[in-house]
Amino acid sequence: MEFESRREASPEAEEERYDVFVQWRRGKPHEYAETINASDPEMAFLLARRNVDLRSEPLSIWVAPRSSMVQSELGDSTLRPSTDRSYRSVAHYAHGGDYGSEEAAEEAAEEAGQ
């Protein structure tokens, strides 16, 4: 069809974002590869397979509408431990076992995080 612009050809309302996940090697996990705009899963799958690098011989490709994925929000505090557990790391004791000192705990936590 002749379109005056690409935008007219694919109004956002009718397209959805599909995230594409590719498994490159046996035994390895599917990795996020790209996001495809498509009108439905069938079209998303067709386009996904011609938009990933086929020369690298992917083993398997998944597409899923982004809207179907439940996602955490950025800075979600429930994704962090609620109490100080730095005593669980060896680094904590490397500082002379200064157990209880906030400074030491912070330092240890920082090192453990690296």
Partner 1 sequence: MSLDVPALSSEVAKPFLLSLADDELVMGHRLSFWVARGPTIEVDNEVAAIVQDELGHARLWYDVVAEAGETIEDLAFGRPAGQRRNTVLVEAPMADFGETIVRQFLYDRAEELFLSAIRDGDDAELSARAEVALREEAFHREHADVWLDHLSETEESRAHLEAGFEACLPRSRDLFAFPEGTSQELVEAGVLDRAIPTLHTEWIEEVVSTLSDLPLDVPLRTSPIENDAADIPDALEGEPATNGRLGEHTDELVELAENGFTEF
33 binding partner 1? (CB under 8 A): no
46 binding partner 1? (CB under 8 A): yes
Q: Which long-range contacts (CB under 8 A, 24 or more apart) does 49-55 make?
A: 51/20, 52/20, 52/22
25 binding partner 1? (CB under 8 A): no
Shortest distance in whole angstroms from residue 15 CB to partner 1: 8
Buried b (16+ CB within 10 A) or exposed e, 77-99: eeeeeeeeebeeeebbeebeeee
38 binding partner 1? (CB under 8 A): yes
23 binding partner 1? (CB under 8 A): no
Work out which of 21, 30, 51, 91 binds partner 1, going by CB under 8 A. Answer: 51
Work out which of 25, 27, 29, 50 binds partner 1, going by CB under 8 A. Answer: 50
Distances (CA, A) of 98 to 20, 38, 65, 90: 49, 58, 50, 12
Structure tokens at 28: 């390895």
Site residues (vs partner 1, CB under 8 A) = 1-3, 6, 9-10, 15, 36-40, 42-43, 46-47, 49-51
